[in-house]
Amino acid sequence: MDGIQQQLQAKRQEAVQTKHSHEMRKTNFKLREELNELKDKNDSTVSSIKKNYDRNVLDEQNKLEIQLTKVRNRNEQILESEKSRYNRMVEEIKMNNETQIAELRQANESEYQNLNQEHQDSLEDARAQYEAQLAKYEA
């Protein structure tokens, strides 16, 4: 009987091992499914976070481009106003210079006329003295 009991014992052990290996495969399958679900969930979470991040980056980039455009427009307006202010200043300076030149010419002309008149007066005085001296000597 020992042989039969050993065979029965071997069959029981084999059944227990088969049952155990079947349960282990079943458990491993369930664990793999859970891992795959977690991996898929993590992948979808990472994907949604990446999408949100990319969207935020694009939104920020758009905001910055709008701000840059505003700054450029404001700078263009400032440049235009500064150009017109500069042109007005140049025109004012030119007009002031022309006025000063005209005043200097007029002052120079009147000074020339005064000097010329003084010279003519001194020439007439010298001629009068000469004629008076000449008349003295002739008389």
119 in any annotated domain: no
Range(s) of the domain holding residue 85? 21-104
14 in any annotated domain: no
- Of 1, 63, 4, 116, the C-alpha closest to 12 is 4
73 in any annotated domain: yes
d(CA 108, CA 96): 18
76 in any annotated domain: yes
pLDDT of residue 1: 63
pLDDT of residue 73: 95
C-alpha distances (whole Å) from 6 to each of 1, 3, 17, 74, 110 are 8, 5, 16, 99, 149
pTM of the model: 0.47
Go through the chain and tell me how many residues it has. Answer: 139
139 in any annotated domain: no
pLDDT of residue 93: 96
Contacts within 8 Å (CB) and 24+ apart, 84-90: none
d(CA 109, CA 113): 6
pLDDT of residue 43: 94
d(CA 131, CA 133): 5
**Domains identified in the chain, total number:** 1
pLDDT of residue 3: 79
pLDDT of residue 4: 86
d(CA 11, CA 2): 14
132 in any annotated domain: no
Q: H-helix or E-strand containing 1?
A: none
User: pLDDT truncated to tens, each residue of the chain (139 aa)?
Assistant: 677 888 888 888 999 999 999 999 999 999 999 999 999 999 999 999 999 999 999 999 999 999 999 999 999 999 999 999 999 999 999 999 999 999 999 999 999 999 999 999 999 998 999 888 888 888 6
Residues 82-100: pLDDT tens digits? 999 999 999 999 999 999 9
109 in any annotated domain: no
12 in any annotated domain: no
